[in-house]
Amino acid sequence: MTYDIVVIGAGIAGLTAAIYGRRANKKVLVLESRTYGGQIVSTKSIENYPAAMGISGFEFATKIYEQAVALGAEIKFENVMEVIDGAEKQVKTNQTTHLAKTVIIATGSKNRTMGLANEEKWLGRGISYCATCDGAFFKNKVVAVVGGGNTALGDAIYLADIAQKVYLIHRRNQFNAEAALIEQVQAKPNVTIVNNAQVVGLLGDHQLTGLDIIANGTAQQLIVDGLFVAVGRVPENEKFANVVDLDHNGYIVANETCETGTAGIFVAGDCRTKEVRQLVTAAGDAAVAATHAIKYINQL
């Protein structure tokens, strides 16, 4: 069986693309290696998507997932290994090979690590990449957040209502975050901002107990029970390098129609080259990619 559109990724971009495809009466398959919703699932409250203020990320993602399914999109939880171009695209997974007239890559991105030796060792033993997932484990304890963007400041604000004390460690002296978030974090009496600093070492035996940092050129230690890493995300596009062009950061290069350099292969969401990566731009990309995929199919 050949699908009209195979969407790789069931985040907001992928599910939105599926909705547009099904509304055009195209046969759509969505492939996802983890769970639907993408990174937004761990967000406690969405504040910057039109008409969805205050809804949780999980509820938001679930509504879109249910909408795609109700419209008839087929969703399978398989890990895509490779895409092969041809008259019919071959999408190879860890289970089988699916054929498609068009492919929309919407794989999003993954958490960026700090790049420290043995960082993985501390995952689940003091280090977390999701404050809303693991924050409750640190009630009335001392934690640190690393990062200076919206996610890091949002994590610090969230944790300030749970933990006894929160250190917000940022490598620069100015945050790259929305002004509203900066004001909120500055208003939290139990948040200590440590600028011009970076974590250089992790302390502890079986559980994280502290951090070695360099702040303003001076080495020091912070005693903490937990560390939440929010230093950005990186794309997972290496497996598609045979059919699409990647920029120097690994993002997929595409034009304004979200079509890549390979006819019939499109991209949407955080995995493509662009300046703004937000829910609303993910949905916008998906609408554009699906619309042009539909035009491509109709011209075959």
Q: The CATH number of the domain where 164 resides is what?
A: 3.50.50.60
160 with 214, same domain: the answer is yes
Pick from 208, 229, 250: which residue ends a domain?
A: 229
What pLDDT does residue 48 have?
A: 81
134 with 98, same domain: the answer is no
140 with 288, same domain: the answer is no
Instruction: Count structural domains, the chain.
Output: 2
Interval 26-62: pLDDT, tens: 999 999 998 999 878 877 778 788 988 888 889 999 9
3-state SS record for 170-234: CCCCCCECCHHHHHHHHCCCCEEEECCEEEEEEEECCCEEEEEEEECCEEEEEECCEEEECCCEE
97 with 155, same domain: the answer is no
DSSP H/E element including 279: helix 279-298
Range of the domain at 178: 119-229
Lowest mean pLDDT across 110-124, 130-144, 178-192, 201-215: 110-124
Interval 232-264: pLDDT, tens: 888 989 999 999 999 998 999 999 999 999 999
105 with 149, same domain: the answer is no
39 with 98, same domain: the answer is yes
Active-site residues, by number, are 130, 133-134
Pick from 209, 229, 249: which residue ends a domain?
A: 229
Give the pLDDT mean for 121-134.
86
% of the chain beyond a pLDDT of 70: 100
54 with 140, same domain: the answer is no
9 with 96, same domain: the answer is yes
**pLDDT, averaged across the chain:** 93
In sequence order, what are the residues at sequence separation of 6 or more whose Cβ sits closer than 8 angstroms to the Cβ of residue 248?
none
Give the number of other Cβ atoms within 10 Å of residue 11's Cβ. Answer: 30
The closest of 255, 227, 247, 285 to 107, measured between CA atoms, is: 285
Pick from 174, 200, 229: which residue ends a domain?
A: 229
196 with 139, same domain: the answer is yes
3-state secondary structure of 76: strand
In sequence order, what are the residues at sequence separation of 6 or more whose Cβ sits closer than 8 angstroms to the Cβ of residue 159?
131, 135, 138, 143, 145, 166, 228
240 with 100, same domain: the answer is yes
